[in-house]
Structure 1
Amino acid sequence: MLPGLSASGRYGCDRGVQTMAFRSISTRLSLYGMVGIVAAAVHYGVLIALRWAMPIWLANPLAFLAASLTGYLGHARFTFRPETGGARFARRWLVVQYAINLTVCGLLPLALPAATLATLIGTNASTAVLDTIFVFTPTVLNALIWSRAARFTQRRRSHGQRPRLHADDLGLSQATNEAILGLIEAGQLDGASLLVNGPETRSALERWHQLATLKPNQQLCLHLCLTEGPSSAPCDAVPDLVNNHGHFNLSFGQWLLLSLLPRRHRRRRRVTTQLRLEISAQIQRFRQLCGSDAIALDGHQHIHLVPLIHDTLLSLAAEQRITWMRSTAEPLPTGLPLRCWWDAIRGAGLLKWSVLQLLSAKASRRQRRQGIASNSGFAGVLFTGQMSGAPLQACWQELCSRKLPDDRLQTPAQLLVHPGAPLDCDLNVAGFAVSAPFASSPWRQREWRAIQQLMQTTGTAN
């Protein structure tokens, strides 16, 4: 017993807590009911107004959409205000609620035909049962959906970890080096990934090592490159991977198709042998340049996630001391204008995101089984190459809302960017024809400025 607290006192405290909980539940139910009544009235009113201008089969879904929108706004503003703070739910929850309700209302009559129920329990009783089911089922579904939406919103309002801001393609050009190393020096980046076969790798590392004494916590990863640029292994040792100039000639799509070949297929076995040599050569070169023992690794154009390449990396992990590999499992950000989603669709960002989501899910499970660490969150694929303005802000906030990792195999979330100064060289000559349009785009400077503004606004420069 606590000092100074009698049994009757404890009983009174318990009763008080129970009373408060009951009042909280009753208030929540009352608000839920009120919003539901308003939504039902909106449904009825819109249906009556539209039925004079269009057939009922079209008017009813539109009226139901108006009711869904009412519930979407009302539950966020009133019913679940403690979780949302009055902010709207993410728009995806409106889409989910509308789609599920339309599907259920369409399937219930098929799943529970009145004739069947009438045979079992009688005509009058079957009508009452059907009416109850048709009213009760959507109500319960909506309660579950809006509750999940409220918890989703609450998680994003809470403060989690600060994501690590990371840049790819260090060593690609002097323009890329200037932007990345300038941000590192200003404390506005947390790490970078190095192309060991890049045209400006050595000049990048000279300055990186100079900055390392001032910024010792910056992470430098191996940016495994297998789609462009010169090979690190001798060309005659990897003839299936390179062209006559000694530059890689297999695209991401071609590597993906090779992964579909049976493991015993002659070409796959031959390519796998050469791939092992090339990966080992790039790791060896990275160690020579950087002096690293344990290897943190990601891929140029995320090539490390292609199944054939990922399998080879896992088979080399123990021998080469690969301790970390990037995951591109990217949650969809909230609060973005619709034009940003249109840009993601038009620029194939959504397609690329979908493919890498599937590849990351498979890769992450296998990495964990081998004890290889990875980032707990990620952003940077959906709006690749255009990470500024609203997309950058939304991705940053999305990752900030994630909980701190409590697993030794999970490192903080990573936000990927590609800053660069105006390009002043021809990357085609160096064998980087795929990256040339990307590196010469004005978006590289926009991303550079956007990162600087983000760090100044949030005050999170390291």
Structure 2
Amino acid sequence: MTEPAARSVWLIADDYGFSPAVSESIRVLLANGRLSGTGCMTLFDDWRDHAAALTATSGSFATGMHLTLTDFPALSTGRKMPELKRLLASHDDDAAIAAEADAQLDRFREAFGRNPDFIDGHQHVHFLPPVRRWLAARFADAPAAERPWLRGAPTLRAAPALIKAKIVVARLLARGFDAEMRRHGFAVEGPLCGFYDWRRKGAFSRALDLFIDRAPHGSVIMCHPGTVDDVLRSRDVFTDAREEERDALAADTFPARLVAAGLSLRQARS
């Protein structure tokens, strides 16, 4: 009899809906059981096409919302949202942030007919106090079975050495988040892993070994697989490393590597 895996983790692809080729790559990985789920960016004009293709994708996986509050035109106003540094310096406009979060959530619900399985944030914006308050208010009356789980604070365990300063900054942003949101009745999954220096060629493959070997039980490992297309290049500087992530997760050796480490991928809330 096969012994059960000692650890299980969420392996979640961020940025579904960022570009056609990114979304297609994520769907292939989902259909082949290489991911636990994906977080959706619902604010772009072609979102409905991405959503329809994801609905048609076979497999058991979590579908969440990747709340986006920076850099792109807002659904609620049409105006470009601030860069992260500006948002962090002036994130006290609860009404504007709540309106944009509502608009993105409504688009998700329109596409799938339900709440997201989970909510996290592009550039970790779900940790911001106004988003915490929006989450608590928006889901105050939702039954437990209809509440999304939330991605929790980062951990320094399983972190590449050269990236730990960045994780410390994210941990400061997330200070108190897990306990606060649990008090509001949310399931918080984590800790968060998956940070690495995507600017260094080959860095993801080395970091993936670290995540597989050292990620604590219950971790959420974020990743950003994809294929580069013109739409992606027009929207982001994080491009070629996405293909390295795609190839590492699609590799024939990946499932055996998980088994050897006593690690399994979660695909439903547990």
- Aligned CA-pair RMSD: 2.6
Residue matched to 1:274 = 96
What are the within-5 Å matches in structure 2 for residues 211-250 of structure 1? 211=57, 214-215=58-59, 217-233=60-76, 235=77, 246-250=78-82
What are the within-5 Å matches in structure 2 for residues 344-383 of structure 1? 344=162, 349-383=163-197
Residues 325, 373 of structure 1: 8 Å contact kept: yes
Q: 2:37, 2:230 → 1: CA distance?
A: 24
Residues 165, 190 of structure 1: 8 Å contact kept: yes
Residues 149, 188 of structure 2: 8 Å contact kept: yes
Unaligned 5+ residue runs, structure 2?
none
Residues 221, 296 of structure 1: 8 Å contact kept: yes
Q: 2:219, 2:232 → 1: CA distance?
A: 34
Does 1:188 pair with 2:34? yes
SS of the residue 1:227 aligns to: coil
Does 1:256 pair with 2:56? no
- How far the C-alpha of 1:391 sits from its partner, in A, is 0.9
Residues 324, 373 of structure 1: 8 Å contact kept: yes
SS of the residue 2:222 aligns to: strand
Q: 1:273, 1:422 → 2: CA distance?
A: 35
Computing the radius of gyration from Cα coordinates, the structure with the larger value is 1
SS of the residue 2:148 aligns to: strand
| Residue from 160, 177, 198 that aligns with 2:44 | 198
- How far the C-alpha of 1:219 sits from its partner, in A, is 0.4
Does 1:169 pair with 2:15? yes
Question: Counterpart of 2:130 in structure 1: which amino acid?
Answer: L
In the superposition, relative to structure 1, how do residues 458 and 381 fare at CA in structure 2: closer, same or farther (>3 Å)? closer
CA offsets per residue over residues 48-87 of structure 1, 9 Å max, x none? Answer: xxxxxxxxxxxxxxxxxxxxxxxxxxxxxxxxxxxxxxxx
Residue matched to 1:299 = 121
Residues 385, 418 of structure 1: 8 Å contact kept: no
SS of the residue 1:329 aligns to: coil
| Residue from 437, 442, 456 that aligns with 2:240 | 442
Residue matched to 2:105 = 283
Residues 377, 413 of structure 1: 8 Å contact kept: yes
The structure carrying a bigger strand percent of its residues is 2
Residues 166, 191 of structure 1: 8 Å contact kept: yes
Residues 181, 208 of structure 1: 8 Å contact kept: yes
- How far the C-alpha of 1:176 sits from its partner, in A, is 0.5
Q: 1:287, 1:329 → 2: CA distance?
A: 28
What are the within-5 Å matches in structure 2 for residues 351-430 of structure 1? 351-383=165-197, 388-399=204-215, 402-403=216-217, 412-425=218-231, 428=234
In the superposition, relative to structure 1, how do residues 247 and 377 fare at CA in structure 2: closer, same or farther (>3 Å)? same
In the superposition, relative to structure 1, how do residues 395 and 383 fare at CA in structure 2: closer, same or farther (>3 Å)? farther
CA offsets per residue over residues 344-374 of structure 1, 9 Å max, x none? Answer: 3xxxx43321111123231111011111111
Identity of matched residues, %: 23
Normalised TM-score (structure 2):
0.82
SS of the residue 1:179 aligns to: helix
Question: Counterpart of 2:172 in structure 1: which amino acid?
Answer: L
Q: 1:302, 1:384 → 2: CA distance?
A: 17
Question: Counterpart of 1:448 in structure 2: which amino acid?
Answer: R
Q: 2:211, 2:7 → 1: CA distance?
A: 13
In the superposition, relative to structure 1, how do residues 183 and 284 fare at CA in structure 2: closer, same or farther (>3 Å)? same
In the superposition, relative to structure 1, how do residues 426 and 282 fare at CA in structure 2: closer, same or farther (>3 Å)? closer
Residue matched to 2:139 = 317
Question: Counterpart of 1:390 in structure 2: which amino acid?
Answer: R
Residue matched to 1:68 = none
- How far the C-alpha of 1:222 sits from its partner, in A, is 0.8
CA offsets per residue over residues 284-335 of structure 1, 9 Å max, x none? Answer: 111001111365211111111122332333232315664321113223227x
In the superposition, relative to structure 1, how do residues 205 and 283 fare at CA in structure 2: closer, same or farther (>3 Å)? same
Count the aligned residue pairs. Answer: 252
Q: 1:185, 1:294 → 2: CA distance?
A: 19
Residues 196, 207 of structure 2: 8 Å contact kept: no
In the superposition, relative to structure 1, how do residues 297 and 384 fare at CA in structure 2: closer, same or farther (>3 Å)? farther
The structure carrying a bigger helix percent of its residues is 1
Unaligned 5+ residue runs, structure 1?
1-158, 236-245, 260-267, 335-339, 404-411
Residue matched to 1:115 = none
Q: 1:456, 1:377 → 2: CA distance?
A: 24
SS of the residue 1:163 aligns to: strand
CA offsets per residue over residues 253-311 of structure 1, 9 Å max, x none? Answer: 2222224xxxxxxxx4xx21222222112111110011113652111111111223323
Residues 155, 191 of structure 2: 8 Å contact kept: yes
Question: Counterpart of 2:184 in structure 1: which amino acid?
Answer: Q
In the superposition, relative to structure 1, how do residues 368 and 326 fare at CA in structure 2: closer, same or farther (>3 Å)? same
- How far the C-alpha of 1:230 sits from its partner, in A, is 2.5
CA offsets per residue over residues 173-217 of structure 1, 9 Å max, x none? Answer: 012012101101111111000011135422222221112xx31x3
Normalised TM-score (structure 1):
0.50
